[in-house]
Amino acid sequence: MEPKGKVAVISGGASGIGLATAQLLASHGARLVLVDLQQELGEQVAAELQAQGVDAAFLQADVTKRGDVQEMLDFAVRRMGRVDICFNNAGISEAGEDFLAPESRRWERTLEVNLKGVLLATQLEVELLRKQGGGGVIVNTASMGGLVPMPNSPIYAASKAGVIHFSRSLAYLADEGIRVNAICPSYTDTPLVRSQGEEAVRRVSAEVGGILHPEQIAEGVLELVRDESRAGAVMRVTVARGIDYAFERQRGG
């Protein structure tokens, strides 16, 4: 699917990978609905895109709440007329919390946002895409942490592994013209990562061989949107190998 003239809904769209993807899709002619909990920042980003001539709108929403996700899609249809591309990108981490500590609680929110949020959004997006006809593309943000162990962030790893196998399991929707894929970035320079502190950033960057920039992940999302052969695909984005695919799955291949 070529982005020109298409409507893209991007959660976590106010910063990091979501923002970089919004900017790249806009440069290819897409119209944008940005969704984020950060209202002030989201409105600012949408205004900046509008000033550049991009048809963009912002909505504050919590991806863990069915009513918010439904309103996200209803808002996109009211504002833009339809939805073609959905990038379910919102995510959080345990933020250094020890899951095994008795007082551990953030892990529940991590699962809610990273896994439930993607499942809920995909469910409602497929319903909309079927209703409006014409197919569509859904890209779910997973992580290399869903493919390899993460002793320091086991819940994050579990949530992203769930996203990967959920997305793979929906490859059959391509028969209806709806392609669901997952993208797995390695360590990426985002506000979420920077919130862990500079020392943590340096340490993990050294462990994984460097740090990616959000624009590199955006290029991967664009490829998944454009490549009609990809359904149930799991794209990896790493410093060492660039873009490649795990569990190679290609329609007609």
The yes-or-no answer on residue 172 being catalytic is no
Task: Read off the amino acid at residue 148.
Answer: V
Is residue 196 within 8 A of residue 219, CB to CB? The reply is: no
Q: CA-to-CA distance for 44 and 2, rounded, in angstroms?
A: 27
Instruction: Label residue 201 by pLDDT band (50, 70, 90).
Output: low
pLDDT at residue 103, as a whole number = 84
Check if the beta carbon of residue 73 is closer than 8 Å to that of residue 128.
yes
Which domains are seen in the chain, by residue range? 7-238 (3.40.50.720)
pLDDT for 253: 47
Which residue from 155, 156, 163 is spatially nearest to 180, judged by alpha carbons?
163
The amino acid present at 183, given as its one-letter code, is: I
Q: pLDDT tens-digit profile of 215-233?
A: 999 999 999 999 999 999 9
Give Cβ neighbours of residue 249 (< 8 Å, ≥ 6 apart): 168, 171, 230, 231, 232, 233, 234
Q: Tell me the C-alpha to C-alpha distance, in Å, between residue 100 and each of 107, 110, 155, 159, 247.
A: 10, 15, 11, 16, 31
Choose between 69 and 94: higher pLDDT: 69
Average model confidence (pLDDT) for the chain?
A: 93
Going by pLDDT thresholds of 50, 70 and 90, the confidence category of residue 94 is confident
User: And the tokens for 177?
Assistant: 């013209």
Confidence of residue 179 (pLDDT cuts 50, 70, 90): very high
The DSSP call for residue 173 is G
